[in-house]
Amino acid sequence: MTTGKMSLAILVTVVALLLSACSTPTAVLPTATPISPTSTPNPTPTPAPPTAVLPTATPISPTSTPNPTPTPAPPTATPKPSTGRIEGRVYRSDTNQSIANATLILLIKSEESGTFAEKIVTVTTTDADGHYSFFAVKPDPYYLWLSLEKIPEYLNYPFCSHSLIPEGWQAYLTGGYPDIPVALIPPNMEFSVAAGDELQKDIDIKVIKCE
């Protein structure tokens, strides 16, 4: 071999060695074994505790509390009347006429002596229908007398008549008592009044006439 060829060969060898020394060997990576993704198993659901079945509540009707029965108040004692009442009508049964403006005189019956005026308790007059009333009459014995002086057709009775006083009737001269010169005493007009009495005293004057 010639010297020139030997030098070239040596040079090539040196260059190759230098290049071999300078180049970084390529790392051979191991072939990755493909890993199949492991599926995470879904957790088994924990079964829910059984729902407690509550018993159906039976509706309870509200019990109404009965209202206490009120204790009745003791009855109020009705005051007993201490007086009585007298009422009636003056009329003529033969003509069915009501006698208005007749004067009724209530007198106390007393064994003691006294004038007509002293024994008078009260006086009243009949209305258009012949009715009269005495209220709050104290318990006592009484007389009920009648005067017709305010009625023209009976004025001055019994002096206006030639007839005698009818049987059962009486006439009493009052001694000048105002507006009642003569009082007539009808039959059965002597009576007593008790507390609470309501007496009906009608007077029929059909026998009284002026002639």
Q: Where are the domains of the chain?
A: 84-204
Read off the tokens for 85: 């009442």
Pick the CATH number of 84-204 from 2.60.40.10, 3.40.50.150, 3.40.630.10, 1.25.40.10: 2.60.40.10
Question: Taking residues 166-178, what's their average pLDDT?
Answer: 90
Question: Which tops the pLDDT comparison, 39 or 205?
Answer: 205
In this predicted structure, the answer to whether residue 28 has a pLDDT above a threshold of 50 is no
Q: What does the pLDDT look like over 35-71, one tens digit per residue?
A: 555 555 565 666 666 665 555 666 666 666 677 777 8
Number of CB atoms found within 10 A of residue 89's CB? 18
- Burial bucket for residue 143 (CB in 10 Å: 0-12, 13-18, 19+): buried
In this prediction, residue 29 carries a pLDDT of 45
In this prediction, residue 51 carries a pLDDT of 62
In this prediction, residue 180 carries a pLDDT of 92
